[in-house]
């Protein structure tokens, strides 16, 4: 790579900065006989390769269509208790919301105590939820609903209560044992994984309680990428391995021979190098990966040690050491993937122990979209937030829509973009804005999680007001069917001029949903040709001279030839289901 243009140089600088390699870092690379430009090129190539959604998806058997339910946060924030939740559940049943598909009842932040129990487990708030969460799960299940809970991928939740970073296994096990079926995992108080790897003089392998160990030095390792052996006269062996930082290289010991299969202690002999924490992954025989964070060190002495329990097979084993964390995106992806794996293991384990069918937990990644979760979320969970929190304003809804509508390629059965909970019925949204909000979320194959106080659907007599406009919006079964279509395809924006959008969503049965969206404050007449509507590759609309058009809100049926035209209200939508004339 002889030269870089301005754009590539800017990208290179960003990559080096993300890897912790500023001017001082470049100097160190040169000293260690690294090629800074080669390093940057490799990082840029890796970055480009990560732009596509992962081929492997989470596949836990849950969330094959976007979830539908209710969450406590928008209406109640931190002020939740058992009685309120039970009243909401009863109102959802009475209002027909459960029958319409809203079966997840999700408790957001503040459902739990600030104290873990004696076994280190999360527990419900000891006064606000006196019956305990397991009993609440049973009662909610008996009403035809599923209970969801919340934690954060940090040391504390957003409201500063116990969170799950470092407690992934025990918290996943607790949720599975309780029968929880939805888990929202926030991003407050997050501690990123270090991009720095330790510098390694040697490794030793031996059984715990035994003085019989085998030692392997830097010279015994095969090196890849930017990994190098450097001299240091302060070390007993006189050399060490460096260059494992930020997905830059690896050291592999291929001749680790042990007499029998079992648990062993891997001791990593460190060259002490600074007070920052460091991260390392250990891949054994290309199958089992162990993750460990090496605390920062004081350099009173030149060497240190760090131990990890690993499992080895009888005979010769291969141990690879590396740090795959190149940036904050990698860190978040790794941490969320860890929790997702623990949830799957826990539900499978509980089902096997109890001899009952597995209850998979829908895993909701709430990283706020800062670290591009749509790139890694399909492998890590069932849904991933694309933005920060929604507000009950038109401006918030529009901004979140604009961010999410562009991410259609990442959604599919079992994994969906999440533009956050619905604000239908909250704030000062007009009727047309509420209807547009709901329609856009359905077109984007988004989770339909209500955030309003369902109890307000009751009239003065305590009975559900069946004429309530909000209730009619959220129980529009034709729009719900668009959201829940088994193809699981998010809409494509086939036309936009900044003021109006045309959205197309392929449906099962060779049909298509079309939405005309008017963002302006004045009514608009909108038109689109059938040819354009059928242009996305996933649309399977058969060729015909005429098509049947079903208005998903007005419930009228009409026939068109080559063009669809409609009057669209300000801040409003018109939505249709189009199929071949005489089709389903």
pLDDT per position as a tens digit, 47-80: 554 567 677 899 999 999 999 999 999 999 999 9
- Residue 450 CB burial class (10 angstroms; 0-12, 13-18, ≥19): buried
**Torsion angles phi and psi, residue 80, rounded to 5:** -120, 150
Own/partner long-range contacts of 334-337 (Cβ < 8 Å, ≥24 apart): 334/193, 334/291, 335/153, 335/165, 335/190, 335/193, 336/153, 336/185, 336/365, 336/367, 336/373, 336/376, 336/377, 336/380, 336/381, 337/376, 337/379, 337/380
The pLDDT confidence band at residue 260, using thresholds 50, 70 and 90, is very high
Per-residue pLDDT, averaged over 534-543, amounts to: 92
The four Cα atoms 286, 292, 294, 295 give a dihedral, to 10 degrees, of 170
- Residue 384 CB burial class (10 angstroms; 0-12, 13-18, ≥19): buried
Mention every residue, 6+ apart, whose C-beta is less than 8 A from residue 7.
none
Element (H, E) at 200: strand 199-206
Mention every residue, 6+ apart, whose C-beta is less than 8 A from residue 33.
228
- Residue 404 CB burial class (10 angstroms; 0-12, 13-18, ≥19): buried
Residue scoring higher pLDDT (253 or 582): 253
Sequence-ordered alpha helix ranges (H) in 80-218: 82-94, 97-100, 133-142, 168-178
The pLDDT of residue 96: 98
Number of CB atoms found within 10 A of residue 313's CB: 15
The pLDDT confidence band at residue 228, using thresholds 50, 70 and 90, is very high
Checking if the pLDDT of 542 tops 60, the result is yes
Number of CB atoms found within 10 A of residue 70's CB: 29
Within the chain, what is the greatest distance between any pair of CA atoms?
86
The pLDDT of residue 210: 86
Radius of gyration for the chain, computed over Cα atoms and rounded to the nearest angstrom: 28
Compute CA 396 distance to the chain's CA centroid, rounded to the nearest angstrom.
Answer: 21
Task: For residue 258, give both structure tokens.
Answer: 């042990």
What gap in Å lies between CA 446 and CA 440, rounded to an integer?
9
DSSP 570: T
What gap in Å lies between CA 312 and CA 321, rounded to an integer?
15
Task: For residue 150, give both structure tokens.
Answer: 């919340």
pLDDT per position as a tens digit, 23-51: 444 544 554 555 666 656 555 555 554 56
pLDDT per position as a tens digit, 349-406: 999 999 999 999 999 999 999 999 999 999 999 999 999 999 999 999 999 999 999 9
Residues in the chain: 584
The pLDDT confidence band at residue 8, using thresholds 50, 70 and 90, is very low
The pLDDT of residue 229: 97
Mean pLDDT of the chain: 92
Q: Tally DSSP H helices, then E strands, for the chain.
A: 15, 27
What gap in Å lies between CA 298 and CA 275, rounded to an integer?
6
DSSP string, 481-526: HHHT-TT-PPPEEEEE-SSEEEEEEEETTTEEEEEEEE-SSS-EEE
Checking if the pLDDT of 119 tops 90, the result is yes
To the nearest whole percent, how much of the chain has pLDDT over 90?
Answer: 87
The pLDDT of residue 41: 58
The pLDDT confidence band at residue 582, using thresholds 50, 70 and 90, is low
Burial 224-258 (b: 16+ CB within 10 A, else e): ebbbbbbeeeebebebbbbbbbbbbbbbbbeebeb
Sequence-ordered alpha helix ranges (H) in 355-444: 373-380, 394-404, 431-443
- Is 0.95 surpassed by the pTM of this model? no
144: phi > 0 → left, psi -120 to 50 → alpha, else beta; which? left
């Amino acid at each position: 790579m002889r030269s870089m243009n301005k754009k590539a140089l800017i990208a290179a600088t960003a990559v080096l900065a993300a890897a912790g390699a500023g001017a001082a870092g470049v100097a160190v690379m040169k000293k260690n006989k690294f090629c800074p430009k080669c390093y940057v090129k490799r990082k840029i190539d890796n970055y480009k390769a990560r732009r596509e959604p992962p081929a492997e998806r989470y596949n836990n058997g849950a969330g094959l269509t976007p979830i539908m339910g209710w969450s406590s946060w928008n209406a109640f924030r931190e002020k939740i208790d058992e009685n309120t939740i039970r009243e909401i559940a009863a109102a959802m049943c009475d209002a027909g919301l459960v029958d319409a598909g809203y079966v997840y009842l999700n408790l957001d932040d503040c459902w739990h105590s600030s104290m873990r129990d004696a076994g280190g487990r999360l527990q419900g708030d000891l006064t606000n939820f006196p019956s305990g969460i397991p009993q609440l799960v049973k009662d909610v299940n008996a009403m035809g609903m599923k209970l969801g809970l919340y934690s954060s991928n940090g040391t504390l939740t957003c409201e500063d209560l116990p969170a799950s970073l470092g407690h992934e296994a025990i918290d996943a096990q607790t949720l599975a044992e309780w029968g929880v079926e939805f888990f929202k995992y926030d991003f407050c108080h997050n501690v990123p994984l270090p991009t720095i790897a330790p510098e390694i003089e040697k490794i030793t392998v031996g059984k715990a309680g035994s003085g019989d160990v085998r030692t392997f030095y830097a010279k015994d390792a095969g090196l890849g990428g930017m990994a190098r052996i450097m001299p240091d006269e302060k070390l007993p062996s006189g050399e060490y391995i460096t260059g494992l930082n930020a997905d830059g290289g690896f050291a592999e010991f291929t001749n680790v021979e042990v007499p029998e299969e079992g648990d062993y202690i891997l001791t990593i002999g460190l060259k002490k190098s600074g007070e920052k924490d460091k991260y390392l992954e250990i891949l054994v025989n290309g199958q089992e990966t162990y993750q460990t964070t090496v605390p920062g060190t004081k350099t009173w002495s030149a060497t240190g040690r760090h131990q990890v329990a690993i499992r080895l097979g009888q005979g010769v084993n291969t141990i690879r050491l590396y740090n795959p964390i190149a940036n904050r995106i990698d860190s978040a992806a790794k941490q969320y993937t860890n929790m997702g794996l623990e949830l799957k293991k826990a539900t499978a384990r509980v089902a096997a122990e109890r001899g009952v069918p597995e209850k998979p937990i829908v895993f909701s990644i709430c990283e706020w979209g800062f670290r591009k979760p749509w790139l890694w979320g399909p492998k890590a969970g069932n849904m991933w937030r694309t933005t920060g929190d929604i507000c009950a304003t038109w401006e918030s809804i529009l901004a979140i829509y604009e961010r999410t509508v562009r991410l259609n390629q990442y959604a599919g059965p079992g994994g969906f973009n999440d533009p956050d909970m619905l604000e239908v019925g909250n704030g000062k949204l007009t009727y047309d804005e509420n209807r547009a909000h709901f329609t856009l979320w359905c077109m984007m194959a988004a989770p339909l999680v209500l955030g309003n106080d369902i109890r307000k659907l009751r009239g003065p007599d305590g009975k559900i007001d069946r004429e309530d406009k909000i209730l009619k919006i959220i129980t529009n079964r034709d729009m719900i069917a668009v959201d829940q279509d088994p193809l699981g395809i998010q809409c494509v924006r086939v036309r936009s001029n900044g003021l109006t959008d045309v959205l197309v969503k392929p449906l099962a049965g060779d049909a298509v949903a079309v939405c005309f969206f008017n963002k302006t404050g004045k009514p608009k007449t909108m038109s689109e040709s059938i040819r354009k509507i059928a242009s996305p590759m996933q649309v399977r609309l058969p060729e015909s001279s005429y098509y049947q058009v079903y208005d998903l809100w007005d419930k009228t049926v009409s026939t068109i030839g080559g063009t669809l035209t409609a009057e669209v209200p300000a801040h409003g939508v018109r939505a249709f289901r189009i199929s071949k004339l005489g089709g389903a």
